[in-house]
């Protein structure tokens, strides 16, 4: 079973990826020129689109907007990992998709579950790559980083 996810990519990872693309191709301006002339080598177009999208997200951030860059990625979950996506954990993902929560305690209260159990489930979802837990003072703040999941059968 193949999974594709639309995932939030952090600023530092985008900056690193742009650095790799700059080493490989020079500058985005050069790639724009090659694209405009119809001389883009096969297989480079996807990286050009990726770079253009990342550049757009960075420019918006530099102009004062929140940083947000979403990318589609392949995700492989083996059967043991897939089994970890229990109905309760999927409920947490759904809840995180509907709003921001300042703490695990707040999320546990909303879903009507014990804080310890919610914490355990969130740690598993973090290990699977669906959420991030960020420390703010003494609190752990859960943040959804996967916004869409597509499962391909066969």
pLDDT digits (tens, 9 = 90+) for 43-71: 899 899 999 999 999 999 999 999 999 99
For residue 77, what pLDDT is reported?
Answer: 82
For residue 23, what pLDDT is reported?
Answer: 95
For residue 1, what pLDDT is reported?
Answer: 67
> Cβ neighbours of residue 3 under 8 Å, at least 6 residues apart?
74, 75, 76, 77, 149, 150, 151, 152
Nearest to 146 by CA among 82, 71, 83, 63: 71
The values of phi and psi at residue 149, to 5°, are -125, 125
The CA distances from residue 75 to 72, 90, 100, in Å, are 9, 17, 24
For residue 126, what pLDDT is reported?
Answer: 95
The CA distances from residue 38 to 29, 52, 92, 151, in Å, are 14, 17, 47, 35
The C-alpha atoms of residue 40 and residue 30 are separated, in whole angstroms, by 10
Domains in the chain, start-ordered, CATH in brackets? 2-74 (no CATH), 77-152 (1.10.10.10)
For residue 43, what pLDDT is reported?
Answer: 80
For residue 34, what pLDDT is reported?
Answer: 87
Those residues of the chain that have pLDDT short of 50 are: none
């Amino acid at each position: 079973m193949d999974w594709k996810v639309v995932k939030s990519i952090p600023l530092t990872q985008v900056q690193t990826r742009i650095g790799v693309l700059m080493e490989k191709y020079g500058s985005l301006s050069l790639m724009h020129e090659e694209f405009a002339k119809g001389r883009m080598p096969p297989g480079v177009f996807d990286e050009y689109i990726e770079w253009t999208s990342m550049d757009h997200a960075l420019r918006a951030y530099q102009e004062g907007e929140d940083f947000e860059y979403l990318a589609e990625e392949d995700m492989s979950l083996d059967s043991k990992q897939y089994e970890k996506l229990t109905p309760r954990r999927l409920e947490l993902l759904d809840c995180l998709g509907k709003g921001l929560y300042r703490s695990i305690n707040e999320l546990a209260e909303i879903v009507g579950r014990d804080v310890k159990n919610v914490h355990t489930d969130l740690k598993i979802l973090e290990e699977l790559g669906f959420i991030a837990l960020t420390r703010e003072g003494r609190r752990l703040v859960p943040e959804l980083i996967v916004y869409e999941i597509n499962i391909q059968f066969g």
